[in-house]
Amino acid sequence: MLSCLARAACLALALLAGPALAGNLADFNAAVEQAESHNRVAIGYLRTGNVDLASIELDRLREAWGALQQRFAGKPPDAFDGVALYGLLWTGVSARLVAADLMLKSGRPDAARQSLDAIRGDLYDLRRAAGIAALADCVRDANTAMDALMVYNDRALDWTKSATRFGIANKASIYGYVLERCDGMASDAVHKTPEFRRLVDGAKAGLALIPKAIATRDSDLLHRVLIELRSFDNLLAFRFG
């Protein structure tokens, strides 16, 4: 009888512990997002030259990262078992934060921004190695696809070359595909927000004009569309990347 009760108690404890362990990754992701939100804002301020506000966000990022590190550095979620990048993350990001602070204080905001953007890359690589999908990483993929499309932001394009026309269509298609993927993987709360919808739907509307620019060989139209797409892309990175 006592043995049965003991087994039942163990089972009950296991059932209670299960959700807590399962929620460990969710807690980690939420804490990372808290830190990343400050990183995004700091990068945005540095991009626009607002060093003072960037410095404030860097301080907040450092505080959020310290709390994250204290909580999870020695207690990785199960999803990161066997992922070597998890152990390297903590020293790597700490070094980048120190570098960003030094660059900012020495009047080199571009170098500081590179250090902060590298943190996004570190987290991207970690999640990818663990097979974890995140909206921030999809937005980063969209940024890369947009970079490739922006190569054609040139009013002196040679429209007579089929490589030019097919290249624009191909890069626009890739960007549209990644954008659709980001739209599909956003949580319900994010997916329905007016800000997210404005940026994603605005980018989709811009992409819909590219076939017309190609068909009419209109460099001015293509230029206007690409500038607008770049703006949407930057704002997506600033808010959700």
Q: What's the pLDDT at 208? A: 95
Q: What's the pLDDT at 48? A: 86
Query: What is the distance between the alpha carbons of residues 60 and 66, in angstroms, rounded to a whole number?
Result: 10
- pLDDT digits (tens), the chain, 241 positions: 444 434 433 433 333 333 333 348 888 988 998 899 999 999 989 988 899 999 999 999 999 999 999 999 888 999 998 899 999 999 999 999 999 999 999 999 999 999 999 999 999 999 999 998 889 999 999 999 999 999 999 888 999 999 999 999 999 999 999 999 999 988 888 888 999 999 999 999 999 999 999 999 999 999 999 999 999 998 998 888 7
Q: What's the pLDDT at 239? A: 85
Q: What's the pLDDT at 62? A: 94
Q: What's the pLDDT at 8? A: 39
Query: What is the distance between the alpha carbons of residues 116 and 59, in angstroms, rounded to a whole number?
Result: 12
Q: Where in the chain is the domain with CATH 1.20.120?
A: 24-131, 133-241
**Of 216, 217, 179, nearest in space to 196 by CA:** 179
Span 133-241 CATH architecture:
Up-down Bundle (1.20)
Query: What is the distance between the alpha carbons of residues 170 and 167, in angstroms, rounded to a whole number?
Result: 5
Query: What is the distance between the alpha carbons of residues 59 and 42, in angstroms, rounded to a whole number?
Result: 10
Q: Does the pTM of the predicted model rise above 0.85?
A: no
Q: What's the pLDDT at 22? A: 38
Looking at residue 34, its amino acid is: Q
Q: How many CB atoms lie within 10 A of CB 123?
A: 21
The CATH number of the domain covering residues in 24-131? 1.20.120
Query: What is the distance between the alpha carbons of residues 169 and 214, in angstroms, rounded to a whole number?
Result: 8
**Of 136, 144, 138, nearest in space to 240 by CA:** 136
| Phi then psi dihedrals of residue 117, to 5 deg | -65, -30
Q: What's the pLDDT at 188? A: 87
Taking each helix axis as running N to C, give the angle between helix 109-130 and helix 51-72, from 0 to 180 degrees, rounded to the nearest 10: 30
Question: Residue 42: which residues within 8 A CB-CB, separation 6 or more?
Answer: 54, 57, 58, 61, 116
Query: What is the distance between the alpha carbons of residues 170 and 166, in angstroms, rounded to a whole number?
Result: 6
Taking each helix axis as running N to C, give the angle between helix 109-130 and helix 84-105, from 0 to 180 degrees, rounded to the nearest 10: 170
Question: Residue 37: which residues within 8 A CB-CB, separation 6 or more?
Answer: none
